[in-house]
Structures are given as C-alpha cells and as structure tokens.
Amino acid sequence: MATAATEATNMDQQVDLSTIPISPKGAENASEAKDDSKPVTVFHDKDNFNVKHPLQNKWTLWFTKPPSGKGDNWNDLLKEVITFDSVEEFWGVYNNVAPVSELALKSDYHLFKAGVRPEWEDPQNKHGGKWSYQYKDKRNVDVDRLWLHVMMGAIGETLEEEDDGEVMGVVVNVRKGFYRIGVWTRTIGKSIPGRGDGDVAGGKGRSSEKGKDILLSIGRRFKETLELPSNEQIEFSGHTDSAHAGSTRAKAKYVV
C-alpha cells in the first residue's frame, strides 16, 4: 500500500469535513463514460471506478473540534464524520479531509472500528488501554505521512495478528507542544472482570501472559510504523489509570 499512499497524496485537494462524499463523485454516471465491464480501480480513475476492495472490518472516522470555551461538553465537540468498509472509500475519505498538519490546536482525528466510540467509557474500550508516542519537535516531523501509515496499519489489520482482536482504533492529537499518535486496545493484557480467567478479546480464552505478549507485539509494530529509532520508547497505559491520574501522567504498564 506504500505505492498507493504516494499516489494518494497527489490526488484531490483537501476540503472541509462537511463535504466528504459518501460515494465516489460521478460514479452513478460512470457507465456513460466508460465500459463498466472493464475493471477500473480508484487508482486508475478516482471519480469513476467500479471495483471496490473490501476491508476486514468497517471503520468510522471521528473528529474532535477545538473547544470554544471552558463550558464545552466533550460529546458536543466529538463528531462522527463517516463510516466506510473498502479501500477505495478510505482513499475517498482521506483525500477529502484536512491533513493533520493543518488542523487547529486541540483537534483530534479518531479512526475506530464501527460501533466503537473513541471514549474510555465505551464498553469495548473500558477494560483497555493505549500505546502512544509524542512528537515534541513538530516542525521536523512528517505527521501527515506517519498518521496515514498508522491508519493503513489499522484498516489493513497489520498492527496485530488476525485472531488477536485487540486493536480498537487509532488516534492523533494536535497540541501546542506536540503531536501525539496512539493505538487503542481492548484489554490491558489481563483477564476482564466478569468474563472468567483470561477470557478476553471476543470470548477467546487467553492467559494474562499471552495477553501481555500480544500487546507488546502490537507496541513493537506500532513503533516500527512510527519509524522510531530503537533508543526511543513508546508507552502503554490503561484507560482506567489515565482517568484516575487526571492531569498527571498515568504510569506506563509496558514500554517498548
């Protein structure tokens, strides 16, 4: 997909979030312009393609707009943008939203599996945590390319093994002093209360040791996707710990 990413960055100019098309522009008239029996992908004709490559899961893009004041409610700031389930629709979305580098401070993008809200309180997230890394030198990091690769890792299911069932979504935060990119997981590598010893990730029996190994594997893949040198560390923290920590930084459970 690296070649696809290169091609995609040169496609349509980004527009306002509210103008994202649900289906390819002009697709309904594609048969008038060309022979529909001939396979045409989004990379041949970004408007009039007739082939879609389904993703393993359906995904939803969310956007957190910057707060306008201290009284803003989180639910009012968090906006569901669009849900898609094919490679072609992903590129359609990607090419029609503002790049991370052009977002206002305190904005976020969240790309989560459909049906999962990007909130700690969501039933799919409440027993989980996240791997994250902060790029503090904002001027010298290609955050747009890195975020694209992290999204591709999520929808392409390459951040984990097929049966792991851990990755819930990926997030990028734009702040004054840094960019932060994270991967949210279903568990913290331990059994979930009320589901029996080690019974996690969609009901599959799993020991805490196995759960830890899976999370560490996700962390290593995530670190590689972020193109970080071996001497840099990314940290994993549980959502519950982060909630209790408040403004202080939650203690890392794992580091790679």
Mean pLDDT is lowest, of 6-15, 37-46, 94-103, for: 6-15
Per-residue pLDDT at 180 exceeds 50: yes
pTM metric for this prediction: 0.78
Residue range 71-126, pLDDT digits in tens:
777 788 999 999 999 998 999 999 999 999 999 999 999 999 999 999 999 999 99
Digit-coded pLDDT (tens) for 118-137: 999 999 999 999 999 999 99
Q: Which CATH class is domain 2-255?
A: alpha beta
Higher pLDDT among residues 96 and 14, named by residue: 96
Quickly list DSSP for the chain. -HHHHHHHTTSSPP--GGG--SS-TTGGGHHHHS-TTS---TTT-SSS-----EEEEEEEEEEEPPPSSTT--HHHHEEEEEEEEEHHHHHHHHTTS--GGGSPTTEEEEEEETT--SSTTSTTTTT-EEEEEEE--GGG--HHHHHHHHHHHHHTT-SS-TTT--EEEEEEEE-SS-EEEEEEES-SSSPPTTS-TTEETTTEE--HHHHHHHHHHHHHHHHHHTT--TT---EEEEHHHHHHHTTSPPPPSEE-
